[in-house]
Chains A and B, each alone.
Chain A
Amino acid sequence: GAGVSQTPSNKVTEKGKYVELRCDPISGHTALYWYRQSLGQGPEFLIYFQGTGAADDSGLPNDRFFAVRPEGSVSTLKIQRTERGDSAVYLCASSLRLVSYNEQFFGPGTRLTVL
């Protein structure tokens, strides 16, 4: 079956612009996670969803970042007034349920470059 997909694969924007990054999880997976991976670093947790609700958004760096999952499937990470420091690879993952033993399956990520 299809894995986690993310679009676009690359996004270049200018400082101050608004961007949306999309994640399509594996069909049937109720848990969805967003991570940010800066150059030379491991992924850092941003937010995760169980169904439509954000179970934990404590990793979002500030109020310019927001994520939604209105129908419990596709999720969109939204970044307002982008800054150069937002440049990173944004990874999405999904798992069957929000429990510890369920493996997280990762997408290929979206590389965001803010000029």
Chain B
Amino acid sequence: AQTVTQSQPEMSVQEAETVTLSCTYDTSENNYYLFWYKQPPSRQMILVIRQEAYKQQNATENRFSVNFQKAAKSFSLKISDSQLGDTAMYFCAYLGRSGGSNYKLTFGKGTLLTVNP
């Protein structure tokens, strides 16, 4: 079974600074997808950014970008110009077939990010 590891339970950053959240995963598949989700206190899970494993180019979405290292099975999230509204729980997630015929989403334990004014 696939596993997703987020080694930083909590992180903090000053407003306007840059922060990087780490994620590693374990898989024997070649085709899969990786995601970062944001979960604020409202509990609503919101997709931040996605990366297809077959794409070498790192995905970017405005202030959010990833560093995808396929060989190292690493998928970190960089948040630039941090804003107070970025304060939330961030989950790394892996979407793969897990040896079966259907795709399943596997989440890490999350990193609680606090942006300080």
A residues contacting B by CB (< 8 A) are 33, 35, 40-45, 48, 55-56, 59, 89, 91, 93, 98-101, 103-104, 106-109, 111
Contact = CB atoms under 8 A, between A and B. Distances in A.
Contacts of B95: 100
Main secondary structure, interface of B, reads strand
B109 A41 contact: yes
A108 B104 contact: no
B31 to A, nearest CB: 8
A108 B47 CA distance: 13
A94 B81 CA distance: 31
A109 B40 CA distance: 12
Interface string B34-72: 000100001111110010100000000000000000000
B9 to A, nearest CB: 9
15 contacts: A35-B105, A42-B108, A45-B106, A55-B102, A56-B100, A56-B104, A91-B45, A98-B102, A99-B103, A100-B33, A100-B95, A100-B103, A101-B52, A106-B45, A108-B43
